Chain A
Amino acid sequence: MSRSELFSLLSFDLREAFNSVSFVVYDWFFFGFQFFIYGVILSKLIVTLSNYLFYYGTGLLVLMSFNVASWSGRRFVESAHEGRLRYLLSLPITRGEMFLEQLLLGMVVNLSRLLPPLFVILALSHLYTPYSLAISLLVLTLVTIGIMGLMISLSVIAFRSFDIYSAIVASLSALLIRFSTINYPLSSMPKAYVGVSLANPVTYGADLLRSAIGLDTSVVLNPALGATVVIALCIGTIFVGIFFISTVVEGVKSS
Chain B
Amino acid sequence: MTERRAMFKVLQVDLSYFFRTKWLIATLVALNISDMLVAGLVYSNMMSLNYFYFFAPGVIVSGMFAAALDVGRRVNLSLNEGVAQYYLSLPLSLDGLAFAHLLSAGLGGTIYASILLGVASAIIPSLISPITLAIIPVIFIVSMGLGGIAAVLNLVSKAGDRYWVYAQGVQMVLLGLSTVFYPIQMISSYFPSDVSRAIVLNPLSQVADALRSVVYSIPISLSSIGLVFATSILMFLVGVACYRYVFKKVWELGKL
Chain A interfacial positions (CB closer than 8 Å to B): 20, 22-23, 26, 29-30, 33-34, 37-38, 40-42, 44-49, 52, 163, 166-167, 170-171, 174-175, 178-179, 183-184, 188-190, 193
Contacts and interface: CB of A to CB of B under 8 A. Distances in A.
Interface residues of B, number: 35
A45 B47 contact: yes
Contacts of B27: 167, 170-171
Contacts of B253: none
A48 B31 CA distance: 26
Given A26-B169, A33-B176, A167-B24, 5 more contacts: A45-B48, A46-B47, A48-B46, A52-B46, A178-B38
Contact of A183 (B24, B30, B39): B39
A189 B46 CA distance: 9
B153 to A, nearest CB: 13
Contacts of A44: 186, 189-190
B35 A184 contact: no
A227 to B, nearest CB: 25
Interface in B119-143: none
Interface of B: 21, 23-24, 27-28, 30-31, 34-35, 38-39, 41-43, 45-49, 51, 161-162, 165, 168-169, 172-173, 176-177, 181-182, 186-187, 189-190
Given A33-B173, A183-B39, A45 B168 contact: no
Given A22-B162, A26-B165, A38-B181, A193 B45 contact: no
24 contacts: A23-B165, A26-B165, A30-B169, A34-B172, A37-B177, A38-B176, A38-B181, A41-B187, A42-B181, A44-B186, A45-B49, A45-B51, A46-B47, A47-B46, A47-B47, A47-B48, A48-B46, A167-B21, A167-B24, A170-B27, A171-B30, A174-B31, A178-B39, A183-B39
A105 to B, nearest CB: 18
Contacts of B23: 167
Q: Which of A22, A46, A179, A183 has the most CB of B within 10 A?
A: A22
